[in-house]
Structure 1
């Protein structure tokens, strides 16, 4: 879900504010190869001494710097990049935060029976979608190159422990990419920082992954828009009414290339090494935190419209599916997600 969602949200906020409502502080910056933004409400006449805008900006930036220092695959001196270069199979000490997120990622891998897999990073790089960007135009890799990388792919080839925190490769060539969960975790860390300051009403976003709490400046729930998954331009598919928790979207309409009359998405099948092939254009997921919403959205997108919908219904996930048809887009919302739809 791109920054257009935030623009829509800000429009609603500006149209609904009055002098009697709390002051809405709007901050933004860059992180994780994308942008972040925040709408923070500080109550009027509060006895709590909140930081000024400059201090808030610095505090939020520092939270995100810590996450990048731990989990970035673009930053060569991050903990994760250092682990990926490590060619031994003994335990590699890491921060507790990196171990925690890796544990959560492996839990989602087991939950999905391997449909979600954070060891596909080398395949993502091979196809030109990852940190090791290929020159444009992107092309389909040779089968031999895919087969070679697949030998090191598989979530069971990665181990994690929390005390003392460490990661371990079962094979030297294992490479971990947490981009499908780290942005969500980063949003949750921003929320934790504001919670510690005593802030009770906010909307936080990194690259479209969102966490909300409390009330909007209008005095009601936060209104968020799910974007229509079109390749060019921006328009709204569905409005949402959110009170608390995380929201994340995974789609194939921003990061893809076409070759030989075929469309190749950045979401890969860890079993075949090839991009997914189905008519699902995007999946949005609501969860108690944005880290899980982020991972679940990628997981369901990898499963496709048939298996993904059945899985979401069976497991009680709050999900919203948009698939392409010859007549346009078709949508499906699970029962839990329907409660957030703005009719």
Structure 2
């Protein structure tokens, strides 16, 4: 059979037919993926910020490969650490801490955002939470450098307290300045910010169901692949990592816990917590051993958990009720632990 070309553009027609054929193949492949795809719960983990992180998410027909997602998450966490670590002498925060008094420094928007939130918490708690508590943290051996289980003298404590005071720190947009020789420590809020940043990365990939955890601070969204809820266990201070004091169904939550039962040292029969009260210059001594906070962001929950842990059981609960904060506390008694929680937290309990 002889083919005829009526418009004189046989080559163009052939190209059009080839293009249509390719598009048809692509459409079939896309439709096959859409109708044959089975969501899976996958995950990965790694080291970060002196601790570990874990990401679990449910795949969908548009999500990238797990390797690509992990690479992006690692980049996000490396960046947060490079900005806010006091253990890295070249981090943006370390460079600011080394800057001269009265020198205005332009900082990144992320640092400005976190320090701005920390300053608000410092003001809200009247200094029970103080973003400049670093000199005392370091003095007690819980900061950068070799860890030494040593109780400082009262003179050393009072000397370090002279370098603590959030009111000596001012932030104007992205310009940060100190009016006295202070040392900013974001360890009580940076992990929470890191979780929020990882969650934002997963959102950008179109992932709708996930759990992100960094050092015990957690953000969840959606549900698992089988339609069940994410479940978060609040660790029992007396039972180790695998024992849960309380289980929370957490479908869309930002949650953080602060406690004195992991990071501490003992000297002459006395236990010294890593949580320092800026007003006494010493580790906390009350019986509040664990605070769990649910808030709008993990960064905020992280900072609030530390603040209430410093305030103690009575003042901490009063602070939570006054500010409508969802707080769950474990208070040590002679035998076991007593649960206390704010009205805002009650709806999360099973």
Same fold (TM over 0.5): yes
Question: For the residues of structure 2 that align with 1:90 and 1:112, how far apart are their CA atoms?
Answer: 27
User: Does the CA contact (< 8 Å) of 2:290 and 2:331 recur in 1?
Assistant: yes
Alignment partner, residue 301 of structure 2: 293
Alignment partner, residue 100 of structure 1: 113
Moved >2 Å (runs of 4+)? 19-22, 132-135, 230-234
SS in 2 for 1:65: helix
Which of 160, 164, 173 pairs up with 1:149? 160
Alignment partner, residue 217 of structure 1: 225
> Larger radius of gyration, structure 1 or 2?
2
1:216-270 Cα deviation digits (max 9, x unpaired): 2331321010000127564110101112131000000001112233221111111
SS in 2 for 1:30: strand
The 5 Å alignment of 1:306-317 reads 306-317=314-325
User: Does the CA contact (< 8 Å) of 1:95 and 1:166 recur in 2?
Assistant: no
The 5 Å alignment of 1:222-261 reads 222-230=230-238, 234-261=242-269
Q: CA RMSD in A?
A: 1.6
Alignment partner, residue 57 of structure 1: 70
Question: For the residues of structure 2 that align with 1:35 and 1:99, how far apart are their CA atoms?
Answer: 25
Matched, 1:31 2:45: no
Per the alignment, do residues 127 and 315 of structure 1 end up closer, same or farther by CA in structure 2, a change over 3 Å counting? same
Alignment partner, residue 283 of structure 1: 291
User: Does the CA contact (< 8 Å) of 1:183 and 1:294 recur in 2?
Assistant: yes
Question: For the residues of structure 1 that align with 2:339 and 2:38, how far apart are their CA atoms?
Answer: 36
Kindly state the Cα deviation for residue 335 of structure 1 after the two structures are TM-superposed: 2.2
1:120-176 Cα deviation digits (max 9, x unpaired): 1111011011123333xx1210111111111110110111122xx1211111x2100
The 5 Å alignment of 1:1-343 reads 22-43=39-60, 46=61, 48=62, 50-135=63-148, 138-162=149-173, 165-171=174-180, 173-230=181-238, 234-342=242-350
TM-score (norm 2): 0.87
Kindly state the Cα deviation for residue 31 of structure 1 after the two structures are TM-superposed: 0.5
- Identify the structure with bigger relative contact order (alpha carbons < 8 Å, sequence gap 6+): 1
- Show structure 1 runs of 5+ residues with no match: 1-18
User: Does the CA contact (< 8 Å) of 2:287 and 2:333 recur in 1?
Assistant: yes
Question: For the residues of structure 2 that align with 1:123 and 1:191, how far apart are their CA atoms?
Answer: 32
Question: For the residues of structure 2 that align with 1:319 and 1:21, how far apart are their CA atoms?
Answer: 38
